[in-house]
Amino acid sequence: MYAASGSWVAFRGGHEFPTMVRKFEAKPLRVFLTTGMRDMENCAGDWFLLDQEMDKALKFAGYDYEFRVINGGHVAGYAENYQEAMAFLWKGWPQPVTAGPSAPRARDFLVPGEGWQMLAEGFKSTRGPACNADGEVFFADPSSNKIHRIGLAGKVTEFVADSGNAHGLTVGADGKLYAVSETSGKISQHSMGAFSPYIKVGGTKL
């Protein structure tokens, strides 16, 4: 990707991209960025400042990238750096670009050299994933009024058949699964092998 004065400002959510780069698994992208020291500053933000934020985010997530600060305004140096940028982006062709190591948070759960596998499909919605101490993952499907469990062997099973339209999930310090209903606002409590009726927190609905 070649970006001259990248629009990482608040136009259509562009300001969220540096944060997303930091949070999520690195993609198989190579990036060449240029920015002008006197770039625009308007209602969407300071373009030069946000270009520097993207520079730091890419470094944090381990991307293969180049970042150039140029003495100029908006899109300064675009033509002058184009040939070098293309040589950098296409280096090693026809070998595909490989993803970097990702941010430290992502490296906590990613297995080096392993890709993603489809475990199940056909859900209308998947919300509020939560993980217990054993490594099992739970997610709600409000459309079908169920909560599902992903076991350690990767099998997806129905955990709660009538979830009360559970939406958000979390595992408490007591090892139980807690869910909040998107329709009633009530909290339900689920042990790893049983279901408890709705309970209210503080006597009021959340």
pTM over the 0.75 mark:
no
* pLDDT level of residue 128 (50, 70, 90 thresholds): confident
| Per-domain residue ranges of the chain | 2-107, 127-199
Kindly report the CATH class assigned to 127-199: mainly beta
Question: With helix as H, strand as E and coil as C, how does 102-120 read?
Answer: CCHHHHCCCCCCCCCCCCC
Three-state SS at 194? coil
- Alpha-carbon distance of 105 to 135, in angstroms, equals 16
Looking at residue 172, what is its pLDDT?
93
Handedness of CA 92, 95, 96, 98 (dihedral sign): negative
Which of 60, 62, 66 is CA-nearest to residue 28? 62
Could you read off the pLDDT of 80-124 as tens digits, one per residue?
999 999 999 999 999 999 898 898 888 887 887 777 888 888 888
159-193 per-position pLDDT tens digit: 999 988 898 999 999 999 999 988 888 898 998 76
